[in-house]
Copies of this chain bind each other. A is one copy, B any other.
Amino acid sequence: MSAEWSFTRIVEALPPTVPFVPPEALERQRGRTLRLRVGANESNFGISPKAREAMVRAVDQVHWYNDPEGYELRTTLARSIGVDFEEIVLGAGIDELLGLLVRLFAAPGDAVVTSLGAYPTFNFHVEGYGAVLHKIPYRDDREDLPALLAKVREIRPKLVYVANPDNPMGTWQQADALRSFIDELPSGSVLLLDEAYIDFAPEEALLPLDLERGQVVRLRTFSKAHGMAGARIGYGLAQREVVAALDKVRNHFGVNRVAQTGALASLGDQEFVCSVVAQVEEGKKQYAALAAELGLGMVPSATNFVALDTGSGERARRLMQMLLAEDVFVRMPGVVPLDRCIRLTVGPAAERQAIAEVLRRVVPEVA
């Protein structure tokens, strides 16, 4: 700290950290371009042709600020989802909304509950606002709802985070179990339900929309099935009082024009999204067969990625390094026992074939 200024006490206490090392940084470190980019669950199916056309048109209007109320997109979302306009908030990805929601509910020192090994960016924001994280271990590669609930009922945190389907493991919760979880939440505890991968989830995982219930905020994104990760646009579904409170603190002009226009067009191309989801399904079957062939496990997945089970953290790390040496970008969960897996995004057939070729070569060397 310089004598000339001082940061807030909370900022001073934060360690230097970033939620993720991006593939671009790996490329710079290694001085080589990555050949296959399947580590960040980006959709290599790309975007809908309708979204592309709309986004190119939006570039021609980009000298105008975006609509801070996101009127057109929120109106269309409201109609297609079956909620009110006032129950939707847009954000520059779920990441931005997570930060805002932590700020909204958790004061410095307040308790927040998540799972050990769950989405690091949520933790980044909780710590960034000086709240206190409590982490519950996964159970059988799934977020452990009963254990989370027990902790919540014990310490009554301001927030509890659950991803359904889960990232990084790809597993999912039954809607009934989530419903019971919500019913048992003590007063004052809000569930942040991260549904980034909901487009890939089976019917049984789909929690009905019920915004009467004020203790749930659901978070969704155009980054995954819609293929718009680099555009930065997601949304939250919540009671209107929560949306109104976010309006008091959010960066009103934060969701750019190209993203809003593209998301609107992509919503109008359900055929494209269905085709992506179908191809991902097909790809997951292929990866399951490949895993069996190579003597690896595969965690059942309700997302656009698969977690291949190498049996040990050491083997997973070695496999990840060998893949990187082949210019293949993958990621792996950071904590025991999840770290026995490596995570592959499921992309188009040609990409899967290229991945299979590399895995057939390197996996035997790891085993």
Contacts and interface: CB of A to CB of B under 8 A. Distances in A.
Interface of A: 1-11, 14-20, 22, 24-25, 28, 37, 40, 42-47, 52, 55-56, 58-69, 71, 92-93, 95-96, 99, 103-107, 110, 121, 128, 158, 187-190, 213-215, 223, 227-232, 239, 241-242, 244-245, 247-249, 251-259, 262
A11 B249 contact: yes
Contact of A244 (B16, B68, B230): B16
Contacts of A258: 55, 59, 230-231, 256, 258
A131 B141 CA distance: 43
B5 A253 contact: no
Given A55-B62, A62-B47, A229-B64, A8 B251 contact: no
B17 A248 contact: yes
A18 B230 contact: no
Contacts of A18: 68, 247, 252
B2 A251 contact: no
Contact of A65 (B42, B56, B65, B242): B42
B262 A230 contact: no
Contacts of A16: 244, 247-248
A45 B40 CA distance: 38
A256 B58 CA distance: 14
Contacts of A64: 37, 40, 42, 229-230
A228 B65 CA distance: 8
Chain B CB within 10 Å, residue with most, of A3, A11, A228, A255: A11
A230 B257 contact: yes
A159 to B, nearest CB: 9
Nearest to A261: B230
B22 A62 contact: no
B230 A61 contact: yes
A231 to B, nearest CB: 5
Given A4-B214, A106-B8, A65 B52 contact: no
A8 B63 contact: no
Report how many copies the assembly holds.
2
A252 to B, nearest CB: 6
A12 to B, nearest CB: 8
Given A22-B69, A42-B64, A68-B22, A104 B3 contact: no
A15 B190 CA distance: 22
A52 B153 CA distance: 54
A61 B107 CA distance: 38
A5 B182 CA distance: 13
Contact of A52 (B10, B60, B103): B60
Contacts of A40: 64-65
Contacts of A96: 251, 254
B107 A2 contact: no
A111 B262 CA distance: 41
A104 B227 contact: no
Given A9-B107, A107-B9, A62 B187 contact: no
Contacts of A7: 104-105, 245
A63 B227 contact: yes
Contacts of A25: 67, 69, 71
B20 A44 contact: no
13 contacts: A1-B241, A5-B105, A5-B188, A5-B190, A8-B105, A10-B107, A22-B67, A25-B67, A40-B64, A43-B63, A47-B62, A66-B230, A232-B256
